[in-house]
Structure formats: C-alpha cells, structure tokens
Amino acid sequence: MNNNGNIVGQRLEVCLKSILGTQYNQDGLYGIISAIALGATKLHYKIRFSALEDTLGATGGINLHGEQVQKLDVEGTNIFLDVLQNSGYVSVVGCEELENLKVVGSGSNRSYTVLMDPIDGSSNIDVAVSIGSIFGIWFTDNNSQGTDNSILTPGNQQVAAVYTIYGSSTVLVFAISGRVVGFTLDPTDNTFRLTHPEILIPDKCKYYSTNEGNFPRLDPPMQRAIIDLRNNYSLRYVGSLVADFHRNLISGGIFVYPTDPEYPTGKLRLMYEANPLSFIACNAGGDSSSGEMSILDIKPKSLHQRTPLIIGNKDIVARTVEIMTS
C-alpha cells in the first residue's frame, strides 16, 4: 500500500478517484481516463489480432503529414474518438490523423479538450514492436471552442496527460500535477491494475535514445551533444517515442530528436506528442526542452506544429541543451 491508501493490483476505477483527489473536476477526469483505459483495452486486442484479422499494413491513403495511413491508425483514431465522445466530458478532440479539431459534443459537462496521437510508432506496427497512444487533456476554452485558437496555449496549461503502450505488457501511465501513476492491463478480466503507484524518474541516467542514423547530417554542436551521450550512456532506440520515453522514465534516460535537414523544425508534434510527455516527465522529476526553451512554455501556432525534443533526466537534459547551444 502507498501513502494514499492505493494498493498495488487495485483496479484503475477503484483507485482513480482517491488519486485524483478534489483538486480538479474529479468526475470529468475520472470519466476521461476511464474512457482512455477502455479504448486502450479495445486497441490492445486489435493490435494482438492484427496479423490474423488482416489489419496490418497501409490503407493506401496519405495523411495530412504526407505519410502513409496504416489500417491501425484508422482503427485507433476511431476507437478513441468514440470512447472520448461517449465519456460525456469531452467537447473537442484534436488528433494526429485529423487535419482540424473535431467538436464531439457540447453542454456544461463537456469541459475538456483532448489532443491525441492514437497510434504512436506507426512504422513499428507491421513488425510486432511496441507502439502506443498519447493524450494531452486540457480545459476547453468555451469562448473559442473548436477553433484553432482554443488550443493555442502552452503545454503548462494541460490538466493531465496519459500514454499507453502495447508492448510485452499493455501499460497506461497518467499524470496530474505532482503525481505520475502507472497501471498494467490484466487480460484475465480486461481491467487495468495499479502497478506503479508513484513514478519518479531515477536520479541516475542509464540510457540515451536517438536515431543514430541521422548523426552525419546534424549540426556540429548537436553532434557534440550526441557524442557526449554516447560516451556516457548505453544506446536504446525503439523508434516509437512512447516506448523510448517509458523505458527512460522507469529506468533513467534521455530521448533526443533534434532538428536536421529533413526535419528543420524537428519531427515530433508539439501538441499531442511533446506536450503530454513533457507534462508527465516534469511531474515525475524530469524535464524537457526544444533546445531553445522548455517544451511546456512554447506558445503554439498550430495543432500540427513540430518541435525538436530533448526529454528525460533533468540534469542530462540541461547538459545536452548546454552543449548543443554552445
């Protein structure tokens, strides 16, 4: 048992309210996180059966980022749009796969906006490597609901963030201010059970995660920062941000996806990848940066904007930023 009375193995729905406390609109967050857990359970089975049900591979369509749409991208988007709408607490959803914000309902209970990447690590879908889903949860700005302006506030305004991983086990991690908690799916009764009552990034950094294949085209200061990481830590790189982030959060590490000539403003998306994971990292004692500023302080310009991302152990993020900017 931990100091909040939550017992390892307890069902998510049972311990969620005591974890959330009264500091937020408790019912709304409870409803949204439960809805994400339901969606993640559905997606867990879609992924497990994807090779058998012929839902691997591409649809033939190209998304707004110019990338091939995978069949599971479509499944994931539809599953989470559905559960978030049915939660009764979400008014607006922004999604990697949808060009514009989608208004999913109105009314006084629907006071939240969710920005999501329903399948992170799409290139790993067909090869049975860990993939995940990422969610940032915000209060809806009722004055500009559903317009781009309604979401163009820095990530430090997020109320909560969640990610899930479909890997050797299926895990759901969520953060509210000052608390990061992890659950693992129990497939015997399809419930998420408390397995990580209090996640804090370890003091010691063990790993660095970056696409080493991009090294030759990085700027010299960025190359120096990567060489410093090489000289001090072991390399681990899955190629699914959420899986690389989770390992580094639990075991200690840093993830770096800088700018390069192919991605002059970075590859990863600010609003539904960098912001939610930065919220989680910062509440677990870690940190994140774009190299120029804290990710959570960036004033966004659009739903789909990209950012360089350096995220993980606080002091190693600071050292990497110092080297890459000197």
Which residues make up the interface to ligand AHM (CB under 6 A)?
96, 117, 120-123, 211, 239-241, 267
Q: Residue 239 binds which one of Mg ion, ligand AHM, none, with CB within 5 to 8 A depending on kind?
A: ligand AHM
Sign for the pseudo-dihedral over CA of 117, 122, 125, 127: negative
Cβ closest to Mg ion, residue 29 vs residue 238: 238
Rank residues 89 and 163 by Cβ distance to Mg ion and give the closer one.
Answer: 163
- The answer to whether 59 and 80 have CB atoms below 8 angstroms apart is no
**Distance in angstroms (rounded) separating the CA atoms of residues 160 and 282:** 12
Q: What residues contact 293, with CB distance under 8 A and at least 6 apart?
A: none
The set of residues, in sequence order, having a beta carbon less than 8 Å from that of 157 and lying 6+ positions away, is: 138, 139
Least Å distance between CB 117 and Mg ion?
4
- Cβ of residue 11: shortest distance to ligand AHM, in angstroms? 29
Between residues 96 and 141, which has the closer beta carbon with respect to Mg ion?
96
- Whole-angstrom CA distances from 87 to 36, 110, 144, 284 are 9, 9, 22, 27
Cα 83 to Cα 36, 170, 186, 190, 242: the distances in Å are 7, 18, 20, 16, 21
Q: Round to whole Å and give the CA distance between 14 and 246.
A: 24
The tokens describing 300, both together, are 């966004």
Residues 228 and 143: their CA atoms lie apart, in Å, by 47
CA dihedral 259, 65, 155, 289 (to 10 degrees): -10
Cβ proximity to Mg ion: between 194 and 241 the closer is 241
Among residues 270 and 298, whose Cβ is nearest to Mg ion?
270
Separation of alpha carbons 266 and 258, rounded Å? 6
| 73 vs 141, beta carbon nearer Mg ion | 73
Q: Which two tokens stand for residue 111?
A: 């006071």
- Rounded to the nearest whole angstrom, what is the least distance from the CB of residue 273 to Mg ion in the complex? 5
Closer CB to ligand AHM, 139 or 263, in the complex: 263
> Contact at 8 Å (CB) between 323 and 228?
yes
Q: Which of these ranges, 34-42, 113-121, 231-239, 253-261, lies near Mg ion under the rule CB under 5 A? A: 113-121
Which is nearer to ligand AHM, 75 or 96 (by Cβ)?
A: 96
Strands 170-176 and 179-186: antiparallel
Point out which residues pair with 289 in neighbouring strands: 294, 310
Minimal distance in Å, beta carbon 44 to ligand AHM? 18
162 contact, one of ligand AHM, Mg ion, none, CB 5-8 Å limit per kind: none
Pick from Mg ion, ligand AHM, none: which does 41 bind, CB < 5 to 8 A by kind?
none
Size of residue set near Mg ion by CB under 5 A:
2
Using CB under 5 A as the binding rule, the residues of this chain from 119 to 178 that contact Mg ion are 120
Binding at 240: pick from ligand AHM, Mg ion, none (beta carbon under 5-8 Å per type): ligand AHM
Query: Which residue number has the CB closest to Mg ion?
Result: 120
Task: Name the amino acid, one letter, at 131.
Answer: I
Q: Which of 73, 117, 260, 287 binds Mg ion (CB under 5 A)?
A: 117
Min dist. Cβ of residue 305 to Mg ion (A): 14
* Binding partner selected for residue 141 from Mg ion, ligand AHM, none, CB under the kind-specific 5 to 8 Å limit: none
**97: contact with Mg ion by CB under 5 A:** no
Residues that bind Mg ion in the complex, under the rule CB under 5 A: 117, 120
